[in-house]
Amino acid sequence: MAVTVKNAIRDRVHAHADSLIGLSHRIHAHPETAFEEHRAAAWTSEVLASAGFDVVASVGGLETAFSASCGDGPLTVVFCAEYDALPGLGHACGHNLIAAASTGAGLALAPYADELGLTVKVVGTPAEERGGGKALLLEAGVFDGVDAAMMVHPGPFETVRFRSFALGTLDIEYAGRAAHATLAPYQARNAADAMTLAQVAIGLLRQQLPRDQHVHGVVTSAGEAPNIIPARSTASYEIRATAAEDLAGLRARVEACFQGAALATGCQARLTRPEPDYLDFRDDAGLARLYAANARALGRPEPVAREPFAMTDMANVSHVVRAIHPMLDIGSGDAVPHDPAFAAAAVSATADRSLLDAAVVLALTAADLRPGAFTL
């Protein structure tokens, strides 16, 4: 790519700096949780529409998703814009920065998309924290025909080759029969006992699990009065494995613990999956090399290698589309995502500078994909 084009892309990001930082801070100040991101989706769409992007709202059947596109080149590149917040913690995962960085990358490339042989899309992807928004959009065909998908996540360190666990969720409800704990306990079927037995079984199961497979959860209800044997108990559990192929086997073993407890106590068990499974992230080595080279040229810190430490629905996209999900250091110190202190760091001056860097590096990486320079 000509140096002049690279400089122009960089200049475009900085020309939109006030708008991008303003978008980030506005989303941060008005946190919205999964599938409730109406303001964030509208604000992000408006910035793109004002720059000439063709914006389609509510794509994939999700009210708070959108797709904004420009250019008509043979290679289609998607920048994923997350903007959901954490319940009770606001933007302690920095998704305000992700939305603004992906928007900035799209704005920077817009005037050059056809020249570079690109169709540029910014896709608003709700419910990353809980709900699997990208997995739902993938199933709905929103990523059909996409050649490369990218986003950058804020963090306390810099890494290019992101790795994640596969994650499955499970909601459990036991239905038993209530009775007075002293007058007629023999008439009861204790739903709280069923939950206790299941937890004991899972605790024993952990001894036989590989070190990279985890099971954890919380009991969300187990009765209301000590003199009434509970007729209902509920819990929410998560299971994790380093590879999606291992998740199904782990799920079967965990579900057997819950079903066995129902059998032992005479209760009925209802097991449901509240969201799609999050797969393990599988990045594209070629895209990662291009991103790393552009990050180095911009003076970003040296990236560090990390073992799997998180989950993302971007991983589902990575199983069918070439994708990257680097992390960018925003100077949060010891504060890590999902820490209240990280929410404060996500609107710091350092975070604002990292946001602009992320937009530049994403845009330059996409520009390197033009036909003849990189074959997808």
Cα angle value 364/113/369 (rounded, 5°): 45
- SS3 of residue 214 by DSSP: strand
Model's pTM, two decimal places?
Answer: 0.91
pLDDT digits (tens, 9 = 90+) for 302-335: 999 888 889 999 999 999 999 999 999 999 999 9
The domain boundary, picked from 272, 307, 323, lies at 272
Whether residue 68 is found in the same domain as residue 113? yes
The DSSP bridge partners found for residue 271 are: 172
Helices (H) and strands (E) in the chain, counts: 11, 14
Model confidence band, residue 376 (pLDDT cutoffs 50, 70, 90): very low
Query: Is 258:172 a contact under the CB 8 Å cutoff?
Result: yes
Query: Is 175:267 a contact under the CB 8 Å cutoff?
Result: yes
Q: Quote the pLDDT of residue 264.
A: 98
pLDDT digits (tens, 9 = 90+) for 134-184: 999 999 999 999 999 999 999 999 999 999 999 999 999 999 999 999 999
Q: String of b and e for 336-370 (b: at least 16 CB within 10 Å)?
A: bbebeebbbbbbeeebbebbbbbbbbbbbbbbbbb
pLDDT(371) > 90: no
CATH code at 96? 3.40.630.10
Whether residue 236 is found in the same domain as residue 349? no
Query: Is 166:315 a contact under the CB 8 Å cutoff?
Result: yes
pLDDT digits (tens, 9 = 90+) for 116-129: 999 999 999 999 99
28 part of a folded domain: yes
What is the helix, strand, coil percentage profile of the chain, to 5? 40, 20, 40
Q: What is the mean pLDDT of the chain?
A: 95
Helices 285-297 and 349-367 pack at an angle, to 10 degrees, of 130
Q: What is the mean pLDDT of residues 182-211?
A: 96
The domain boundary, picked from 213, 240, 272, lies at 272
Whether residue 294 is found in the same domain as residue 217? no
pLDDT digits (tens, 9 = 90+) for 54-82: 999 999 999 999 999 999 999 999 999 99
Contacts of 272-276 spanning 24+ positions with Cβ under 8 A: 272/170, 272/171, 272/173, 273/168, 273/169, 273/170, 273/171, 274/169, 274/171, 274/236, 275/130, 275/131, 275/132, 275/135, 275/169, 276/132, 276/135, 276/136, 276/139, 276/313, 276/316
The domain boundary, picked from 272, 294, 323, lies at 272
Whether residue 36 is found in the same domain as residue 156? yes
199 part of a folded domain: yes
Whether residue 26 is found in the same domain as residue 152? yes
Whether residue 62 is found in the same domain as residue 201? no
Q: Which H, E and C letters describe 96-118, residue by residue?
A: HHHHHHHHHHHHHHHHHCCCCCE
C-alpha span between 19 and 25 (Å, rounded): 10
pLDDT(42) > 70: yes
The pair of structure tokens assigned to 223 is 């009765």
Q: How many domains does the chain have?
A: 2
Query: Is 172:347 a contact under the CB 8 Å cutoff?
Result: no
Q: What is the mean pLDDT of residues 278-300?
A: 96
Whether residue 155 is found in the same domain as residue 208? no
CATH code at 177? 3.30.70.360
Residue 305 DSSP class: -
Whether residue 357 is found in the same domain as residue 208? no
Whether residue 258 is found in the same domain as residue 297? no
215 part of a folded domain: yes
Whether residue 84 is found in the same domain as residue 142? yes
Domain around 186: 166-272
End-to-end CA distance of the chain: 17
C-alpha span between 82 and 302 (Å, rounded): 25
Backbone φ, ψ for residue 167 (5° rounding): -130, 135
Q: Quote the pLDDT of residue 4.
A: 85
